[in-house]
Amino acid sequence: MTEYLDIDGGRIAYDSIGDGPLVLLAHGIGDRRQAYRYLAPLIAAAGYRVVSVDMRGHGESSLNWPSETGKDAISRTDVARDLLAVIAKLGGPAVIVGHSLSGGAATIAAAESPELVSGIVEINPFTRVQKFDLGAFVKTARHRRGMTALMSTLVFKSLRQWEKYLDAAYPAKPADYDAYLAELLAKLREPGRMAEFMKTGKSTPADAQAQLGNVTQPALLVMGTADPDFPNPEAEGRAIIAAMPAGLGSLGLVEGAGHYPHAEAPERTAELILPFLKEHA
């Protein structure tokens, strides 16, 4: 059941299951909170209150938010401030589980408000500024296919290209993939939704990267080894951890999963996350 929280600038949609310490799930660009439809029940069953939120402009959250950047964009800082507002209103602290752009937002939230964030889990995050690697683009087919479709989505504002990207980003399709994709594309065809999605492409991870050294709470990086977004997903995870203060970060790999391990391999993803929650939530 969808619930709503009014915060400065708009309204965030969310749903909540389970009881116990608070765990906040935040999805990536061009998606909605139902991306966690498999993982959320596994975490709730282990004794946590799991709140899945729709990113500003996405899902059932409201449109046309003012941006912290002062531009027509959705930045990681914007999303981090939204997540912190939700945690404060729900009576945190919380562990933030952030995917992709929201992984970078989790870094910012933890650095800015450690009293509200007891730990962060970043799933295939865009937390560091990426440099184009021509060699990897030429030699690594999964990376070339995924990045071509992703860049084409943002340049041409094309849902067809987004569908191609998702096909590459989900090397292992969930059983309900076709139905989920149809519902997601229908949501993005609603008036204003595609424009909001495009705002995510007008920001970079520079704000998140700048905060990595300021994180004081424990962090878990979960990387799908077949993620097309990175030439070497494991190396990207290790680089993020290396930029944090020593001893804070740890890395878990989901073998064969792409950019969405929480939907492709939820049991394995839960196996990595639950011990972290037990220690830090």
Tell me the pLDDT band of 244, cut-offs 50, 70 and 90: very high
- What is the CATH code for 3-280? 3.40.50.1820
- The whole-number pLDDT of residue 70 equals 63
Over residues 73-78, mean pLDDT: 94
Instruction: Give tens-digit pLDDT for 141-187.
Output: 999 999 999 999 999 999 999 999 999 999 999 999 999 999 999 99
Q: Give the HSE-up count for residue 56: Cα atoms under 13 Å, Cβ half-sphere.
A: 30
pTM of the prediction? 0.96
In this structure, are residues 99 and 262 in contact, taking their beta carbons and an 8 Å threshold? yes
Please state, rounded to an integer, the average pLDDT across all residues of the chain. Answer: 96
Tell me the pLDDT band of 23, cut-offs 50, 70 and 90: very high
Is residue 268 scored above 70 in pLDDT? Answer: yes
